[in-house]
Structure 1
Amino acid sequence: MATVHFLYRSVREKSFLEVRLQHTENTIKYLWSAKTKIEVSKTFWTKQRDVKSRDVTISNEQTRVKGLCSTIENLILDSFKTTTPEAITKEWLQTKIDLYYNPKKNDATAETIPINLIEYFDYYIKYKENYPSDVLIRKYRVLQKKLMRFQTHRNKAILIKDVNKRFKLEFSEYCESQQYSRITIQRDFAEVKTICIDARTKGIETSLELDKLSFPRLKATNIFLTFDEIKAIENIEKSKLTDSLENAKDWLIISCYCGQRVSDFMRFTADMIRIENGKSLIEFTQKKTNKIMTVPLHPKIIEILNKRSGAFPYAISDQKYNDYIKTVCEVAELTQIVNGSKKIETAPKSGIYRKVTKDYRKCDLVSSHVGRRSFASNFYGTIPTTYLIYVTGHSTEAMFLSYIGKSNKDLALEITNYF
């Protein structure tokens, strides 16, 4: 239960009222105060505000002050109902009051733009120029919840203008204490920075340090299947696999020759295929980007379709697919020890998983993304990069090269092949 009270806290004869929010959470009482712009005299507040008076001046003042206080009280209580208790702080309360007096409006929507980082995520998703896909929205929500936990830990609201060097250090230390990997912290902070930069374009104040904030880029270990390893998977004797594993094996091979995400290729059906100039093409809309794609079908994919009477394998959940293809790769004897990252439970039965980088069997590192990366890595240098980028859907060549782990040195060595 939350209650709101107004207090006169000045020694001056005339001053602004202070608003006080009180609420109880898990038997703990919280008390937060903020300044308002409701100006009254000390005499009125202490002696006249609740007394019936025939004096018109006093009566009008009572009506004015009561109306202003009621408006502020309703604003606070309404906001309280739609905010998680851990997000309620002195800064949160003052921000609500400040926005009431100085609302920042978006010209197109006339909606108040949040200055709190966590609240801005909702605004960002709603008004993003290209409305994000369900996949991206889930990614934003995961980060938003992580920031909520961080905000509770620091017991202080995260304002967009406060994302500076000190915030970066606090966020990094918190994430490390929660056993997140350095690469995950780097990725999350880059997303926070992007959100803040977007807020700046809407007129929200940001730190002068924002543009220079970054983490040293760590190179992720990229696992992909070579053509020889894909061949070993193809050659697995059918008797060694159940029908479910055989189905997953065919999807794995398809993914290695189409370069698409599991959210896309797992939706492939024969109805999406069309023939032009004797070539088989498949047309679909990428789930993550909403981009309409037309991609040629590799002969290896057509082989699988012919084996299945023109049909794709049946669709399965991402989790089952991830589990099955690990078994498929184990049967194919892809058990060499390689360095990579794998989600490990932080403690028995904790239900909390974090990525741990060390040496594992290659088959244990295989996941739904391995086919897309295998396509990009295996065909790099044999198919022009422009065409590969078209198939994978990367925005820039730099992003594509980073995706397959190519450094400037790698590029320089490959250029020598043309000398």
Structure 2
Amino acid sequence: MNWFDELPTKIQTAVKIAEQKIQPYLAVIDRQTENNQAKVLKAFHDQQVAETHLFGSTGYGNNDEGREVLDAVYAQVFGAPAALVRPQFVSGTHTLAVGLYGCLKPGQKLLYLTGKPYDTMQEVIGLTGDGTGSLKEYGVTFDYVSLTDQGQIDYEQVAQKLATFAPDVVAIQRSRGYDPRPSLRISEIQKLITFVKQRCQALVFVDNCYGEFSEEIEPTQVGADLIAGSLFKNAGAGLATTGGYLAGREDLIERSAIFLTAPGIGRHEGATGTNLRWMIEGFFLAPQATGNAIKGAIFAAALLEELGFEVTPRFDEPRTDLIQTVILGSAEKMIQFAKAIQKYSPIDSFVEPVASAMDGYEDQIVMAAGTFVQGSTIELSADGPLRPPYAIYLQGGLTYAHAKIAVAHACADLLKI
């Protein structure tokens, strides 16, 4: 008996229908993956990546050629003047924080154009928590522009805020985070950046988490001054065990490096230890891993929609990140879905997720993440805050086959409620 035969008849029928619907869209992702892979391969060739670059450094990390080559590969692939790729970045939130400190000076102003920032960034800014070490304590004034009722950029309000608030830095969050609103495609980010630069001199900072290789160009190629992301996500392909990256203007990269290390050190020190091999190989595999994850999300959207659940984006809508939102309507269904994803994970499959408080979040979070790298969201995971509309956020999947198997079984478990 194969895995498919274990499913209830209703799920088997829905899977077959979903598979038929999505074939043309999977083919589009395959072509996109090939183009992104070619771009990465060219950068490896142009920067002459060698076996000696895989071994890393110790101590101060002086003269680490592998670290410098990896920076150059990222910069070329992302169409940026410079990049900073380091294992010393402990998370996406940390990487974003370092980038913002690199862009901002005391007394300056930060404006988010995509609504209230993601939960963990609110403590960085000083909206929640006790404010220690936050941008607010640093003297940065913050404001944001709410999205429209349809989750779109409110250009009228953006224009008004640019004129009255006069920000020094504007920030764009590409992915939806824990919000049902649509993620921003590169074409929309380009339109927004052009809109801003026609009206003021503010720097444009883009939170690129979950977005790398989900389209064929990145925000730095359409005018972003600095972008940031985590190696736990797309760019690490499940191989990088820690780290993050910044890419953008040379001066902003240097200022950010100073905040990561210290004045006088900047980019020139920081041992890579045993991490370089996995960071370099992970970036080479990142287009394929991202393509697999997106294909898994397309399948999940089609299957869950076939079973009557509200999903966003729908299976036939364009994608710009990994995240698939499923509106389940109750905390009970969220927890059940998370349990099923955990059960069909390669690691800790015997563990049951329990909703609990988590640092950086205001609501209890339920999280399924049976991943090889702790917290890796390029690997298959499902999580969300227990608050209306009770949406679970599905992302990742190193292989398309794993995503199909796990999601189909999760749907079967939902039918039991």
Q: Which has the higher contact order (CA 8 A, sep 6+)?
A: 2
TM (normalized to structure 1)?
A: 0.21
Q: Which has the larger radius of gyration?
A: 1
